[in-house]
Chain A
Amino acid sequence: MENAPKKNDPKRVVIVDDEEDVVLYLSMILTDHGYEVQSANGGREGLALIKQSKPDLVCLDILMPIETGLSLFKKVRTDPELADLPVIIISGMDLSEKMGDDDEGVGAQIRHPEGYLEKPVKPEQLLETVKAVIG
C-alpha cells in the first residue's frame, strides 16, 4: 500500500460532522493525542476528503443535510477502495436501530461500523474507542 503511513507516522483521522463545534472538539482531542485530523462539514465533502486522503479512520455523524452519515457510510462500505476503512459513528441518535436491514438501515450484508459513540462524548471515551480500532 503506497499511501500507508510509515511505522512512526501519526495515524490520520477524518471527522465528518455538520456541527462546527463538534468538529473542533473532536479534532482537538485527537490532535492533543498525536493524531492527524482532517474534517468535512457534510456527507458529500466528507466522501471527497476520504477518497483523497485515505485516512486510517473516519469519525462520522449521522444527521447531516443533503447527504446523511448513513448514506456516506454505505458508500464507503460499498466502495472497493474504501471497504476496509474503519469507521466510528458518533451521533446523538440511538444507533442500534439504524443498523437493521430495512430500507433506511445499513443492511445485513454490510459490515457494521467498528465503533459507536453517543453524544455527548467524553474525551476519554473517544480516545479509548479510537485506540481500540486503530491503535
Chain B
Amino acid sequence: MSETQESKSWRKAVHDELYERVPCNIAVIDRSMRIVDHNKNFSDIFGEGIGKPCYTVYKRRTSTCADCMTLKTFEDGEVRVNDAEGVDKDGRPAHYVVHIVPVKLPNGEIPYVIEMSTDVTDTRRLQREYHILFERVPCYVAVLNRDLRIVRANERLRETFGKTTGEHCFEVMKKRGSKCESCPALQTFEDGKMHTSEHVGISKSGKHTHYIVTTSPLSKKGSEVSHVIEVALDISETRRLESELEKQNAFREVLIRNSVDAIVGVDTQSKVFLFNPAAEKMTGYSAEEMTGKLLPAGLFAGEFAEIIDGDRERYLLHDATLTDRDGDELPVQFNGVALRQNGDRIGAAAFVQDLRKIRQLEKEKIDAERLAAVGQTVAGLAHGIKNILTGLEGGMYVFRGGLEKNDQTRIDRGWEMLERNIDRITLLARSLLSFSKGDPPVVSTIDPVALAREVVDLFDDAARKANVVLELDVPDTIEAAPMDREGMHSCLANLVSNAIDACQMGDKPDCKVTVRCSETAGGGGEGGTLLFEVADEGCGMNYEIKKKVFTNFFTTKGAVGTGIGLLLTRKIVQEHGGTITFESAPEKGTLFRLLFRRDRLPVPSDK
C-alpha cells in the first residue's frame, strides 16, 4: 500500500516535530565523525555543532575517543547504549546516557549514525550525594531483604561489624544464629511502617555496642515490602558515660552520706537541698524538715550568707562556731564554697568539721606533754641537785679542813663554795617554780620582726663583750601574730643566750650568732607558718648532748646554768601550738628553729 502525498507530508511534519521536541539531544554523525545535523536540545546543551567533529563538540577533544562506541556501530551496525561524560557549552561536566543507532541503507552501508543522548548530570550528582550520605553518615545503615539478609551496608557498619553483604543481619550485628525476638525489620516487613528500638550488638572485636535502630520500608513488590532500610545510631559512648555518671553519683552519694563532716547545700534563695546525716547529728535538725526550707538564721557563720549572696567565692574559717538546734555552740572548722553551673551561681555548699574531739585531744596531748616534761624535769632535777650537793659537800670539806688547819685562805674558799652552791640551788628552785606554775599565756597581737629585733638589741652588748657577732636577718614586715609577748621574748632570749655561750665554748674567732624571722606560705588553704631561727657557729653538740636537750634537767654550763632554759622554751612554744627543732654538729654550730602554724596560734586573750 503506497502512501499518499498528503500522508507523507503529515508524517514528515510529525517527524520534524518529534526530532525537535523529543526530550533528548539528537545528533547525526557521518563516517568522518562530523556532526551533520542535530536538534535544538543538542545545541542548547553542547552549542552549535554542525560540521564539527563529534569529539570536539562533546568532549573538547582534538581526536577520536579511545573505545569510541560510534565507530564500533559504524563497523558492526549494532545499536549501543553507553554512559558517557562530556563537557557542556559552558565548560561544565555533563553526564549523559547515549543511544547509538546506525542509519542503514538497503545495501547494508551505514553512512550515518544517530546519537540520542539524555542528560543525566543531575541524576548522577544526586546519586553521588546519596552514596556519600549512605556511606559516611555517622550511623550504621543497612538494606535488608525479606530473608533479613544484608543487601547493602555502609562503611561504618562494615568497619564495626565486619563482613556484611549477603549475611543475616542478626549474624552480623549480634553474632547470633537466629532472628532476634523483637526484630524491628520484621515488623516493618509486616506492617510497612517505621519501627524503632534499642539493641545491644557485638562488634567484630567482641565489644558490646549499644545502638538505637529505626527501620523503614524501602521498596515494594506488589503490596509487599521487598526491602527495609535500617539506620542505627551508636549510643555506646552515651551509655558508657551514663554508667560512669551513675557510678560517680553513687560514689558521691556514699561520700556525702558517710562523711563525718556536715555537708549542707543551699540554693541562691538559702533554701536547703542537701543536708547529710552528719549535718543532722551536728545541728539537731533532720534532713526531712530542712529540705526545701530556709537555712535557720545563726546556724552557720555569718560569712556563709556572703557566699550565698554572691559576695564571696569561698570562706575557710578555722575557728568558727555552729549554733545547734538547742542553742549550744560547737567549735567547728567551716568551709563554705559557691556552687556554680556553667559559670552561673546556683547556690552554696558548707562543709563543717566538728572540732570538739580534736580540741579535746589537743588539750589532752598538751597536758600529757606537759606532764611528761614535768616528769622528766623532776627526774633530771636529781642530777642537777647532785652536782650542787657535791659543791656543798666540797665547800664543807674545804671549810672544815681550813678550820682544822687554821688556814684562812682555805676557810674563805670553802665559804665561797658554800655560798655559790646555795645560790645555785636557790636559782634552781626559782626556775623550777616558774616552769611548773603553768600560767596560761597572755596572748596579744605582736609584730614578730619587732620582737626579734628587741631580743637582738638586748644581747648586743653581751655579744660584743664575748667577741660574738650578733646579727638580725629579717624581712621588712611580717604579718602580726597572736602570741604571748613575754613568753616569746624569753624563748628567743634563752636561745640567743645559749648561742653566745656556745660561741664562747667553741674555738672560732668572730663566731657569729644569727636571729632570723620569716614566713612560709601555707598549703591547702591553711595559713602560713611563722618561723624564728637562732643559728650559731659555736661548739655544737654531740649525739649524747643532743639527746638530752629537751629530755632532761640538763646543763653543759657547769655552775652557770640551771638546765631549765630549753625546757621552758619548749613549753612556751608548745603553748603556742608550735614546735621546736634543732640541728647541731660538734664544732660547726647549732640551729634552733621555732615553727608556728598560723592556724594553730592561740586566740588573743582579750577576745
Residues of A within 8 A of B (CB): 18-22, 24-26, 28-29, 32, 41, 63-68, 70-71, 92-93, 103-104, 118-123
Which residue from B390, B540, B557, B586 sits with its C-beta under 8 Å from A119? B390
The answer, among A18, A68, A93, A121, for a CB contact under 8 Å with B393, is A121
Interface residue? B96 (CB, 8 A): no
Chain A interface SS verdict (over half): loop
| Interchain CA distance A103-B542 in the complex, whole Å | 12
A66-B586, A104-B547 are known contacts. Are A119 and B397 too (CB-CB below 8 A)?
Answer: no
Which secondary structure characterizes the binding site on chain B? helix
- A66 lies within 8 A of B391 (CB): no
Instruction: Provide the bound-state CA to CA distance between A29 and B398, in Å.
Output: 8
- Residues of chain B within 8 A (CB-CB) of A123 are 397
Q: Which of B528-554 contact A (CB under 8 A)?
A: 539-540, 542-545, 547-548, 554
Asked if B558 contacts A68 (CB within 8 A), the reply is no
Asked if B82 lies at the interface with its beta carbon under 8 angstroms from chain A, I say no
Taking CB atoms, residues of chain B closer than 8 Å to A103 are 543
Assess whether B386 is interfacial by the CB under 8 Å rule: yes
In the assembled complex, the Cα of A32 lies from the Cα of B394 at a distance in Å of: 13
Q: How far is the CA of A22 from the CA of B387 in the complex (A)?
A: 8
Chain B residue, CB-CB nearest to A69: B544
The CA of A119 and the CA of B387, in the complex, are separated in Å by 7
Structural contact, A20 and B397, CB atoms closer than 8 A: no
Docked Cα-Cα span, A80 to B254, in Å, equals 73
Chain B residues, CB < 8 A from A71? 542, 544
**Complex: how many Å from CA A67 to CA B8?**
145
Interface residues of chain B, those whose CB is within 8 Å of chain A, are: 382-384, 386-387, 389-395, 397-398, 401, 413, 417, 420-421, 505-506, 539-540, 542-545, 547-548, 554, 556-559, 586-587
User: Among B382, B387, B543, B586, which residue has the most Cβ atoms of chain A within 10 A?
Assistant: B387
20 contacts between A and B (CB under 8 A): A18-B558, A19-B387, A20-B558, A21-B417, A22-B390, A22-B391, A24-B394, A63-B548, A63-B556, A66-B540, A66-B556, A67-B542, A92-B387, A93-B383, A103-B543, A120-B390, A120-B392, A121-B393, A122-B393, A123-B397
In the complex, what distance in Å separates the CA atom of A118 from the CA atom of B393?
Answer: 13
Assembly CA distance A30 to B200 (angstroms): 104
Determine if B394 and A21 form an interchain contact, defined as CB atoms under 8 angstroms apart: yes
- Please name all residues of chain B whose beta carbon is closer than 8 Å to the beta carbon of A70 when the two chains form the complex: 544
Most buried by B among A26, A28, A65, A118: A65
Verify A104–B386 contact, CB threshold 8 A: no
- CA–CA, A29 to B390, complex, Å? 13
Enumerate chain A residues within 8 angstroms of B506, measured Cβ to Cβ: 66
Are B394 and A22 interface neighbours, CB within 8 A? yes
Given A19-B559, A21-B390: A28 and B544 within 8 A (CB)? no
B383 x A92 contact (CB < 8 A): yes
Asked whether B397 lies within 8 Å of A25 as measured between CB atoms, the reply is yes
**A24–B413 CB distance below 8 A:** yes
Known: A21-B559, A63-B554, A120-B392. A68 touches B398 (CB 8 A): no
CA–CA, A81 and B502, complex, Å: 32
**Inside 8 A of A26's CB, which chain B residues have their CB?**
394
Residues in A whose Cβ lies below 8 Å from that of B413: 24
Task: Determine if A19 and B390 form an interchain contact, defined as CB atoms under 8 angstroms apart.
Answer: yes
Q: Is the CB of A25 within 8 A of B389?
A: no
Q: Please state if A120 and B544 are interface contacts (CB–CB under 8 Å).
A: no
**Closest B residue to A22 using CB positions:** B390
Would you call B544 and A68 a contact (CB within 8 A)?
yes
Which 3 pairs of residues, A with B, have the shortest CB-CB distance?
Answer: A25-B394, A65-B556, A92-B386
Closest partner residue, chain B, to A71 (CB atom): B542
The answer to whether B398 and A28 touch across the interface, beta carbons within 8 angstroms, is yes
Chain B contacts of A41 at CB under 8 A? 558
With both beta carbons as reference points, the residue of chain B lying nearest to A64 in the complex is identified as B556
Q: For A104, what are the chain B residues with a Cβ–Cβ distance below 8 Å? A: 543-544, 547
Contact (A92, B390) CB under 8 Å given A65-B556, A71-B544: yes
